[in-house]
């Protein structure tokens, strides 16, 4: 794959250059010293993956990500040496379409080797994702609105949400619009590395009136609580309304997988449920959302205009998996309408 590096620190650039060179299968095609230059370089020669730093002069990585995804969209991986202090900017960048984030490897030592391996694994995974069409697809036709069938046996209505690139911002918009006393439980599977999940849960907690925390093995969804997948394993229902994690197979591209989560609802959840598929690159969640709809659950896909990356919802619409296709600003109100 062709790689572009965006970083203003010579030492960090050299570390990333060495990591890429040592793979023998990826090619560094350009280096940008700030976000403004990165936007120009992407317009000149679009890479398969951009390794984006956050703190830079002239234009930071957040604004550069926004402009690149707006003008010349391509996979962006945030690579930063300040994971702790840059948590807010990481989620801002992901809100604009960055796909993932990881630590900048150290030049030497065991930790450096571990971080370098993690970086290469993420680059390789991005290369497995299907490319997104550059031309805007035809406007999807909304399926007819149907009344979801009743699923007896569960007292707590469930809102099951899947998201990827652009998900943090979309989730923030939705959660900000949900009042305290929301009569359902919400479980979110967002494509994000486990190392960033605690920070994301804290960040989302600041955005809303509901309690937000990481899902733990054995958890049961509760009204007014938001559970976020917090592992590189897959979050699924394992029976009797109980959540847990499973390793899946080594070749799984998406970790955690929205499809596996949605399919586990069909298999193990006995109560009412609404499936929501938000912005993201690729197809994860589309087949799972179709399974939910086919089993009588209400399903919602985010519309193209409000998506940072119209990949996952687009795939769901193509499968006729969505009962409704809505802008992100209308999803919270619709959820409340369904639950009243």
30: domain CATH number?
A: 3.40.50.2300
- Is 96 considered catalytic here? no
Residue tagged active-site, from 26, 96, 191, 234: 191
Asked if residue 34 belongs to a domain, the reply is yes
At 34, list the tokens.
Answer: 């700030």
**Which residues, 6+ apart, have CB-to-CB distance to 312 below 8 Å?**
162, 163, 164, 258, 277, 278, 279, 280, 281, 282, 283, 284, 285, 286
Q: How confident is the model at residue 92 (pLDDT cuts 50, 70, 90)?
A: confident
- Bond prior to 256 in cis (omega within 30° of 0): yes
Do 249 and 176 belong to one domain? yes
Count of CB atoms within 10 A of residue 220's CB? 13
Question: How large is the average pLDDT for residues 6-35?
Answer: 94
Any idea what the Cα angle at residue 174 is, between residues 86 and 288, rounded to 5°?
100
Looking at the fold, whether 28 and 169 belong to one and the same domain comes out as no
Question: Are 129 and 170 members of one domain?
Answer: no
Q: How many domains, the chain?
A: 2
Domain that holds residue 92: 2-133
The reply to whether 243 and 199 lie within a common domain is yes
Average pLDDT, the chain: 87
Active-site option among 164, 172, 231, 306 = 164
Going by pLDDT thresholds of 50, 70 and 90, the confidence category of residue 148 is very low
Report, as an integer, the average pLDDT of 299-309. 92
Q: How far is CA 307 from the centre of its chain?
A: 12
Over residues 231-249, the pLDDT tens digits come to: 989 999 998 889 999 998 7
Q: Does residue 231 have an active-site annotation? A: no
pTM of this prediction? 0.77
Same domain, 166 and 308: yes
Predicted local distance difference test score (pLDDT) of residue 140: 37
Tell me the C-alpha distance between 332 and 237, whole Å.
Answer: 24
Which residue is catalytic, options 34, 60, 284, 303? 284
Residue 26 has pLDDT above 90, yes or no: yes
Report pLDDT for 43.
96
Boundary of a domain, candidates 66, 99, 133 = 133
| DSSP secondary structure letters along 196-239 | GHHHHHHHHHTT-SSEEEE--TT----TTEEEE--SSSEEEEEE
Average pLDDT over residues 31-57: 95
């Amino acid at each position: 794959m062709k790689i572009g590096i965006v970083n203003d620190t010579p030492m960090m650039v050299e570390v990333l250059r060495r990591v890429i060179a040592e793979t023998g299968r990826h090619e560094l095609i350009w280096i940008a010293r700030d976000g403004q230059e990165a936007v120009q370089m992407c317009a000149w020669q679009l890479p398969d993956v951009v390794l984006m730093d956050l703190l830079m002069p002239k234009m930071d990585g957040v604004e550069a990500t926004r402009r690149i995804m707006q003008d010349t969209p391509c996979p962006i991986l945030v690579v930063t040496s300040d994971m702790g202090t840059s948590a807010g900017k990481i989620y801002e960048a992901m809100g604009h379409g960055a796909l993932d984030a990881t630590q900048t490897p150290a030049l030497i030592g065991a930790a450096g080797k571990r971080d370098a391996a993690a970086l290469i694994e993420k680059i390789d995974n991005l290369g497995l994702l299907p490319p997104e069409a550059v031309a805007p697809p035809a406007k999807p036709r909304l399926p007819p609105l149907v009344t979801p069938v009743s699923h007896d046996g569960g007292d707590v209505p469930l809102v099951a949400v899947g998201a990827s690139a652009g998900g943090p911002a979309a989730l923030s918009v939705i959660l900000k619009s949900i009042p305290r006393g929301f009569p359902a439980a919400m479980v979110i599977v967002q494509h994000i590395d486990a190392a960033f999940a605690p920070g994301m849960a804290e960040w989302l907690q600041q955005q809303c009136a509901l309690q937000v925390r990481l899902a733990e093995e054995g958890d049961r969804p509760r009204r007014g609580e938001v559970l976020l997948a917090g592992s590189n394993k897959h979050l699924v229902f394992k029976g009797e309304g109980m959540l847990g994690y499973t390793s899946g197979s080594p070749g799984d591209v998406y970790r955690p997988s929205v499809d596996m989560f949605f399919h586990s609802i069909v298999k193990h959840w006995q109560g009412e449920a609404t499936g929501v598929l938000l912005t993201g690159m690729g197809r994860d969640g589309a087949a799972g959302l179709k399974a939910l709809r086919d089993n009588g659950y209400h399903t919602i896909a985010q519309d193209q205009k409000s998506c940072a990356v119209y990949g996952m919802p687009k795939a769901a619409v193509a499968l006729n998996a969505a009962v409704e296709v809505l802008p992100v600003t209308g999803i919270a109100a619709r959820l409340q309408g369904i639950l009243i």
